[in-house]
Amino acid sequence: MKNCLDLRQPAALMLIVLLMAVSSSAQASSGEHELWFGAGVDGDIQPSVHARYLYDQSDFWSIGGGVEHRLDGALSAGRSAALAELRMVIDALTFVPALSLVGGGVMTWPKAEVAGLLRLEASVVWRPARDWGVMLRIGAERQLVDQAATTMLVTLAWGRYLGGAADLEL
């Protein structure tokens, strides 16, 4: 039993050193506004574009919303969505991990069918400076209709941070 405890102390010390090595020298993100613009694909390799706004309530919680549009095989068909997002984040690192719960409404066109949408996302933001970042986001979504399949999504986005610790000159 003593050997197990001896291994835990160096492991904890290594974790602390690792976190210090990747941490940003900037302040935490409370009060910042985030604007994200990106493109991605779903499991059927259908392209999508999106724009999102997030407000950082604290270093751990963000709320926001956005719009996205996905083509469905042809330029004359697709779907548009309006989304609300609750994000749990661990900021003050150069690589910022997050989990998001996203819900909203989606309209498929040209049929004009409307449905609810629920999505769970995991993301990581590379934030080399306090005023911008690049996000890789992976999600699983399901439309809230009968027999809807779960769809996987991958998105790459560029973001701009405004206010708070970003200290921008506009």
* Residue 41 pLDDT greater than 60, yes or no: yes
For residues 59 and 28, the answer to whether their CB atoms sit within 8 Å is: yes
Using DSSP, how many helices (H) and how many strands (E) does the chain show? 1, 8
CATH of the domain at 160: 2.40.160.20
- Report the amino acid identity of residue 64: G
The answer to whether 154 and 41 are in contact (CB under 8 A) is: yes
Residue 113 lies in a domain: yes
Residue 141 lies in a domain: yes
Question: How confident is the model at residue 20, as a pLDDT?
Answer: 46
- Residue 4 has a pLDDT of 44
Nearest 5°: phi and psi at 25? -80, 0
CA–CA–CA angle 123, 150, 148 (5° rounding): 145
User: What pLDDT band is residue 139 in, cutting at 50, 70 and 90?
Assistant: very high
- Residue 46 inside a domain? The answer is yes
For residue 144, count other CB atoms closer than 10 A to its CB.
12
- As a whole number of angstroms, the distance between CA 85 and CA 53 comes to 9
Does residue 8 fall inside a structural domain? no
User: What is the count of structural domains for the chain?
Assistant: 1
pLDDT for 72 equals 81
159: confidence class by pLDDT, cuts 50, 70, 90 = very high
Q: Within a domain: residue 18?
A: no
* Residue 27: DSSP 8-state: P
Residue 74 phi/psi, 5° resolution? -145, 155
Q: Is residue 4 part of a domain?
A: no
Range of the domain at 116: 26-166
pTM of the model: 0.77
What single letter denotes the amino acid at residue 93? L
Residue 5: enclosing H or E segment and its boundaries?
helix 2-22
The answer to whether residue 145 is domain-embedded is yes
